[in-house]
Chains A and B, each alone.
Chain A
Amino acid sequence: GAVVSQHPSRVICKSGTSVKIECRSLDFQATTMFWYRQFPKQSLMLMATSNEGSKATYEQGVEKDKFLINHASLTLSTLTVTSAHPEDSSFYICSAYGTGGGLFFGSGTQLSVL
């Protein structure tokens, strides 16, 4: 079946540093990728929609300068948390929507900012 690879699965960083998370569709092309954030005991909140070759569309309240999204190809989208702070600590998960209409989620990244 279709697989979405998300790396790293877990990252710990110091406050003020930037962290890059990769979301890769392994055996299909993704016209669109989505990024979600999940705080403890809460549901998934959509952060942004990423389309290959164009600027990402951010949901209301999500800072585009803090959460940089790059969708360089039909199989790769990256989320960079810039100047991370402890309040950015969260579980980040991506999904990829295939050209054939299937939707698949990555395994998520647990970010801890010290």
Chain B
Amino acid sequence: SQELEQSPQSLIVQEGKNLTINCTSSKTLYGLYWYKQKYGEGLIFLMMLQKGGEEKSHEKITAKLDEKKQQSSLHITASQPSHAGIYLCGADIGSGNTGKLIFGQGTTLQVKP
């Protein structure tokens, strides 16, 4: 079965600093999703990557999928307190786009003002 490993598990950064969260899969990724969450609340969709080498950006957040499609990274530039939360990567289990996701264990981000 496919497994996703996220690192680090938790992160505390000073406001204004850059940070990177990694998501590594035991199998080829056919669809990789990044979400932000506060526990007990819904998921906020950030980005979805499918192609090897693909990179997407939204505001100060950039996500990349490596060429081999087994690792993705999420990079936040000039972090702000509003970036605090739990970041989850999710991988589509199917060989195509099925919507059936497994998730990494999450990365808890704190941003100190």
Contacts and interface: CB of A to CB of B under 8 A. Distances in A.
Nearest to A32: B99
A8 to B, nearest CB: 13
B42 A97 contact: no
Contact of A110 (B40, B103, B104): B40
B40 A93 contact: no
B12 interface: no
Interface stretch (A12-20, A33-41, A63-71): A33-41
Nearest to B9: A41
B98 A108 contact: no
B100 A34 contact: yes
Interface residues of B, number: 20
A45 B3 CA distance: 12
Contacts of A32: 98-100
Given A95-B101, A97-B99, A103-B33, A43 B42 contact: no
A80 interface: no
Contacts of A40: 39
A70 B83 CA distance: 37
A32 B103 CA distance: 18
Contacts of A91: 39-40
B67 to A, nearest CB: 24
A54 interface: no
Interface of A: 6, 32, 34, 38, 40-46, 49, 91, 93, 95-97, 101, 103-108, 110
Interface of B: 33, 35, 39-43, 45, 88, 90, 97-106
30 contacts: A6-B42, A32-B98, A32-B99, A32-B100, A34-B99, A34-B100, A38-B39, A41-B39, A42-B105, A43-B88, A43-B103, A43-B106, A44-B90, A44-B101, A46-B102, A91-B39, A91-B40, A95-B101, A96-B99, A97-B98, A101-B97, A103-B33, A104-B45, A105-B35, A105-B42, A105-B43, A105-B45, A108-B40, A108-B42, A110-B40
Please list the 10 inter-chain residue pairs (A to B) with the smallest Cβ-Cβ separation, ordered nearest first: A97-B99, A107-B42, A103-B99, A105-B43, A43-B103, A44-B103, A43-B105, A43-B106, A108-B42, A110-B40
